[in-house]
Amino acid sequence: MAMRKNFLGTVARNGVISEEGLQQLIVITTKAAKPVIGKYYREPKKSGPIPFHLIYNLVASLRQDHYVSNIGDIVYYETDPELFQILPVGKSE
């Protein structure tokens, strides 16, 4: 608790957030968010200088997330079945 008060006091006095203070804030907010997010929270994967682990996510997004429909109150990415027919959408059998 002392670290949190010190951090907020430093920000209030200087108006500047140091790198250490920002790291503290990230740790505090992550701990607070985990119970709210529940089973949907995923620990981040460790990365090297080049984030090769993100290539899988990029390819999956290119295969599935093609457009957002302009119809309805709730909008989300949808898949166009005619786009990229060469690449199978979903799991391969």
- Domain-wise residue ranges, the chain: 2-40, 44-93
**Confidence at residue 93, expressed as pLDDT on a 0 to 100 scale:** 45
Q: Give the separation between CA 66 and CA 46, rounded to whole angstroms.
A: 28
β-partners of residue 78 are 67
Report the chain's terminal Cα–Cα distance, integer Å: 53
User: How buried is 64 (Cβ within 10 angstroms: 0-12 exposed, 13-18 middle, 19+ buried)?
Assistant: middle
**Confidence at residue 32, expressed as pLDDT on a 0 to 100 scale:** 92
Q: Give the separation between CA 47 and CA 53, rounded to whole angstroms.
A: 7
For residue 48, how many other CB atoms are within 10 A of its CB? Answer: 7
Q: Characterize the bridge pairing of strands 67-68 and 77-78.
A: antiparallel
Q: What digits encode the pLDDT tens for the residues 23-81?
A: 888 889 989 999 999 998 888 878 888 888 888 888 887 777 777 777 778 777 787 77
Taking the complete model, does pTM exceed 0.75, yes or no? no
